[in-house]
Amino acid sequence: MKLFRIYIYNQYRNVRRTRQGQVLCGHESTIYHATYKRKIQIIPIKNNTTYANVTAYKYNCINENCKQKVFMEEFPFVLPSQVRAAELNLLILAVSLFLSNESASNVLRFIGVKVSNDTIKRIYDSIAVDDNPNIEAIGIDDVAMRKGQSYATAIYDMNDHHLVALLKGRESETLKEWLKNHQKIKLATRDRASSYALAISEALPECVQVADRFHLLQNLIERLREICREEIPEDIYIREGKVLDSLPEKVRKYKSFSNPEQLNESNYDNSIPVDENGDIVKYNNKCHNPNRQRSKKHAENRKKNRT
């Protein structure tokens, strides 16, 4: 497989000091310490595995009171110590949502993504759901873990629509226990399930409940379908642009040429076929072996039916 290598040399000098997304001392530095190479797999180009060979910089911290004297440069498209770009991880997750880890690994290999089934599992395990007790607006909906058998309750942050909690089941008691630890919630959007409405009313009486647009539109479409089934008959008969009240009588007509000259132009020979010697060619429709047991049985059945 052909590998594309893209060489990227970062020219930024002032880098804010961070570690695992948290600011340590916040000082900026332009004092180089060293450089190092990073080989990062990115989105495939023309279904070929693509790598970015990045030359990154290390800096000396100018803060004398900071415990970590050397820090590394960060990039917006890849996390620290990662060998795959963030966009590539999203592509892997999108494909693996509908397939098993092994099947997703095989499918991704065809489009130029090198990833094993164990790596896909590690990507899933690294996803963390952070529960924020200070959240003020949430969205509640049920999701099928296994359609028709097991369900869960998903709770989202209405500000940026990220997942806040995933509760087991979709009963009101489970949601009520979660809401007791989140008393700052002022707005909750939900579907029209009575269990969610009861849980919110009991746990947060002052919370404003809003029916989300998706379920309102879904209920409207279902109601319109019921009206159409009741008002519009199953069969509608139309003749000559007019709607008939009952099934029209069938009129038998012989098909004929609209122009009699078309019949004269047609060439149809109904004579008996003969070969080059003038002998009649008999039509043979025996495309099977008559000596087979099945053919003999069919022949006997035909004789019985004639008698």
State pLDDT tens for residues 125-162: 887 767 777 888 888 888 887 777 888 888 888 888 88
CATH class of segment(s) 129-252 = alpha beta
pLDDT in tens, 51-92: 988 888 888 888 878 877 887 778 888 888 888 988 998 898
- Residue 4: per-residue pLDDT: 42
User: Domain limits of the chain?
Assistant: 4-125, 129-252
Going from the C-alpha of 4 to that of each of 45, 54, 86, 111, 266, the distances in angstroms are 8, 13, 18, 14, 66
Confidence of residue 274 (pLDDT cuts 50, 70, 90): confident
- Residue 257: per-residue pLDDT: 66
Q: In sequence order, what are the residues at sequence separation of 6 or more whose Cβ sits closer than 8 angstroms to the Cβ of residue 66?
A: 17, 24, 25, 27
pLDDT in tens, 1-58: 344 444 333 333 334 444 444 456 777 777 878 888 888 899 898 888 999 888 888 8
Is the model's pLDDT at 179 over the cut of 80? yes
pTM of the model: 0.47
Buried b / exposed e across 128-158, counting CB within 10 Å, b at 16+?
A: eeeeeeebebbbbbbeeeeeeeebbbbbbbb
Alpha carbons 16 and 18: distance in angstroms, whole number:
6
Confidence of residue 221 (pLDDT cuts 50, 70, 90): very high
